[in-house]
Each structure stands twice: as C-alpha cells, then as structure tokens.
Amino acid sequence: QRRMEELLALAPIFSRLMDRVACDVPWLFRHLAPIREADPWLGRLLDLAEQVYGAGGVGKDPRGETRLLLTRQDYLPHSDGRYLQVEINTIAVAFAGLTERLGGLPKET
C-alpha cells in the first residue's frame, strides 16, 4: 500500500514535467531536428508543428492554450524492492470520443 501511494504521488510531478517539455516548442524542435530526416513520420509531425507554432517554434506559445494531458505511467518491481518507471504512455486520438465528457473536468491552475 505504501509503495502504491509513493508511485501515485509521482504522477502529478511527471505530468507537469511532460507538460513543460511539450510546451517548450523551440527546445523540442532543436532536439528533434537531427532525427527529422531519418524518420519521415516525425518529419511530417514537425512540419505540422511548424505550421501551428511557426518556424523554430517561436510564433505561438502553447502555454496560453487550454491543454489536456492524459497519461499512464508504467512501473515494474526491481529485485532490490524499488519500482522502476519503464514508460509513460500518452493517450491521444484513441480517446477522441471522450471529449464531451472531459469538458466537465476541473482545470489545474
């Protein structure tokens, strides 16, 4: 029970971290640029992001927009008793049908 509570307490911290990374569009563009040519799918995503946020990500600040971050964090027990985070999954298009219900959720300020 104690371990579960510890892991649950980490969820908002990782959510804020994910949000801050996602909102730092210039940083994302800089760090993803080397992969752009090798991964056509990522290249198309970056092209779309440039249309929305401007060249280099400096045209629009996403922090001023309403956002919803739905994630699931997966942990596995380690042999020494710790739980190690193995991935963070984002939920995107698959949950588009929930948007009407999500409108009633409270905002974090």
| Alpha carbon distance 43, 29 (integer Å) | 11
Task: Give the Cα-Cα-Cα angle 6, 81, 87 (nearest 5 degrees).
Answer: 60
Residue 36's identity, in one-letter code, is R
Q: At what angle do helices 2-23 and 25-36 cross, to 10 degrees?
A: 80
- Output 28 or 95, whichever has higher pLDDT: 28
The pTM is what?
0.67
Residue pLDDT, tens place only, 64-105? 888 877 788 888 889 998 888 888 887 655 555 666 666 666
Q: What is the mean pLDDT of residues 36-50?
A: 90
